[in-house]
């Protein structure tokens, strides 16, 4: 089998992994060595599905002894199998890096033999890159659940980011679809990576040149829509992972029907809109100071498909608004729909040079068509802003219409009009007036 075929098979086998970021690590280049990383990461291309290509994302091998029902590489699936030798994969990475195709390597692996054997193969690849080629670009490696602490430690010292996939949002889902994996053997390596990072950071404060363990932090991903978990469960899990495991990112991957198990959804398009809404919440949790209970609660366990989660929150909390642009602090500004991290900072900055008038907001980069319902400038509301909450809801929902169209495939759009998700006029009234 030539390297073209291997590359095709092993890329195809790795493509359902959502994460492809090259961020979080800032390693300036060193004379005589190839490459560096920059904190913001760089996307080098965008594939036909519009997802970013930053790293050479492949499996070391797609031979796997497990039979996880949601996974394309499950033992029982009839797909061609291939493996890269460590040398092949390292050479491929270097060749592509030199041509500015990629930012580095994202290597994962099927479990052929023992988890430690899979880890050993990845470790060899990474060793060739780091030690032989002196490669200073980005490397993201997957830790295989069930591997030994020693193997994890060795790999962690050489890569920028590690991740262990949590796979499905609930233990029940794991039991049903991935009986070989348990919550325990997924969480154990996560804990070890967390502790390794903490320890490494402590050492760094003492010795500037202490070796760095997983400097770009830990990530994970879970599959959305394969199991009946609610948005609330998913977000609580996500929040728990950020808080208790110190994760840098949690990725969501809309389930693409590749399994044949009768319990898995069949012939449905991937729930892209739901994935999109969950990512919006993820950003609100990480960058905007929101808590999970503000976004979803017992009354609203699923996210509103018609409204982005920040608008939805704002409509449920009229007591917070309007926000005074010329006085509010950063935390409060960040809560206004239409004001993002960047425009909040710009508001703070521009305020130091003079007071802001309503017509200045647009110049500063505030999305006025959203923000206008929620702000005042020196006590003045923006012109022509409706007060009636139902009208506001309709206005805001109208704004996310293109988003619905873009993210939702036709079938998914249809399901919006099925009874459980469609808020009727009365629902809207109840949800709005009930709290007004």
Q: Which residues bind other proteins (CB under 8 A)?
A: 3-5, 7-9, 11-12, 14-16, 28-36, 42-53, 56-58, 72, 77-80, 92, 95-96, 98-101, 254, 256, 258, 260, 269-270, 272, 346, 349-350, 352-354, 356, 360, 363-364, 406
For other proteins, give the closer residue by CB, 254 or 303.
254
The dihedral formed by the CA atoms of 136, 193, 45 and 226, expressed in degrees to the nearest 10: 160
Q: Residue 84, SS3?
A: coil
For other proteins, give the closer residue by CB, 8 or 398.
8
Least separation, in Å, of the C-beta of 358 and other proteins? 11
Which residues lie below 8 Å from residue 240, measured CB to CB, with a gap of 6+?
Answer: none
Separation CA 391–CA 385 (nearest Å): 10
Q: Give the residue from 61, 127, 129 showing the smallest Cα distance to 93.
A: 129
Cis peptide before 322 (omega within 30 of 0): yes
Least separation, in Å, of the C-beta of 118 and other proteins? 21
Least separation, in Å, of the C-beta of 380 and other proteins? 16
Least separation, in Å, of the C-beta of 11 and other proteins? 4
The dihedral formed by the CA atoms of 106, 111, 112 and 115, expressed in degrees to the nearest 10: 100
For other proteins, give the closer residue by CB, 39 or 436.
39
Least separation, in Å, of the C-beta of 96 and other proteins? 6
Q: Give the residue from 245, 200, 256, 198 showing the smallest Cα distance to 220.
A: 245
Quote the tokens at residue 182. Answer: 């348990």
For other proteins, give the closer residue by CB, 88 or 116.
88
Least separation, in Å, of the C-beta of 249 and other proteins? 19
**Contact present, 280 and 340 (Cβ < 8 Å):** no
For other proteins, give the closer residue by CB, 38 or 180.
38
**Contact present, 234 and 281 (Cβ < 8 Å):** no
Q: Which residues pair with 139 in a beta bridge?
A: 105
**Contact present, 234 and 278 (Cβ < 8 Å):** yes
Cis peptide before 31 (omega within 30 of 0): no
For other proteins, give the closer residue by CB, 53 or 404.
53
Least separation, in Å, of the C-beta of 91 and other proteins? 10
Q: Residue 93, SS3?
A: helix
Least separation, in Å, of the C-beta of 131 and other proteins? 17
For other proteins, give the closer residue by CB, 170 or 343.
343
For other proteins, give the closer residue by CB, 7 or 399.
7
């Amino acid at each position: 089998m030539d390297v073209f075929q291997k590359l095709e098979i092993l890329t195809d086998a790795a493509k359902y992994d959502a994460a492809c970021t090259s961020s979080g690590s800032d390693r300036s280049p060193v004379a005589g060595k190839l490459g560096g990383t920059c904190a913001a990461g760089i996307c080098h291309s965008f594939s036909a599905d519009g997802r970013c290509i930053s790293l050479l994302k492949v499996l070391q091998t797609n031979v796997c002894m497990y039979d996880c029902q949601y996974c394309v590489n499950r033992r029982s699936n009839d797909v061609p199998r291939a493996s890269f030798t460590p040398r092949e994969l390292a050479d491929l990475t270097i060749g592509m890096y030199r041509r500015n195709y990629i930012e580095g390597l994202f290597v994962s692996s099927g479990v052929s033999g023992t988890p430690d054997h899979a880890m050993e193969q990845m470790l060899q690849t990474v060793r060739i890159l780091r030690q032989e080629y002196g490669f200073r670009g980005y490397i993201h490696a997957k830790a295989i659940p069930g591997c030994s602490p020693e193997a994890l430690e060795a790999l962690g010292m050489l890569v920028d980011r590690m991740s262990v996939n949590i796979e499905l949002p609930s233990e029940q889902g794991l039991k049903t679809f991935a009986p070989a994996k348990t919550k325990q053997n997924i969480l154990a390596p996560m804990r070890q990576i967390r502790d390794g990072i903490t320890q490494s950071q402590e050492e760094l404060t003492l010795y500037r040149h202490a070796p760095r363990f997983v400097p770009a932090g830990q990530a994970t991903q879970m599959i959305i829509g394969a199991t009946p978990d609610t948005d609330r469960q998913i977000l609580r899990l996500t929040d728990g992972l950020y808080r208790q495991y110190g994760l840098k990112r949690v990725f969501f991957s809309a389930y693409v029907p590749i399994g044949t198990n009768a319990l898995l959804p069949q012939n449905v398009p991937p729930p892209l809109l739901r994935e999109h809404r969950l990512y919006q919440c993820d950003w609100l949790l990480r960058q905007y100071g929101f808590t999970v209970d503000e976004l979803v609660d017992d009354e609203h366990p699923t996210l509103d498909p018609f409204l982005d989660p920040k608008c939805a929150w704002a409509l449920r909390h009229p007591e917070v608004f309007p926000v005074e642009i010329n006085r509010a602090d950063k935390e409060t500004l960040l809560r206004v729909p239409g004001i993002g991290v960047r425009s909040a900072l710009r508001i703070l900055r521009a305020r130091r040079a003079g007071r802001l008038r309503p017509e200045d907001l647009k110049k500063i980069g505030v999305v006025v068509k959203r923000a206008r319902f929620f702000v005042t400038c020196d006590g003045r509301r923006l012109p022509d802003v409706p007060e009636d909450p139902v009208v506001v809801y309709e206005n805001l929902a109208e704004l996310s219409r293109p988003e619905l169209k873009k993210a939702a495939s036709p079938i998914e759009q249809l399901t919006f009009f099925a009874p459980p998700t469609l808020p009727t006029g009365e629902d809207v009234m109840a949800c709005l007036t009930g709290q007004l």
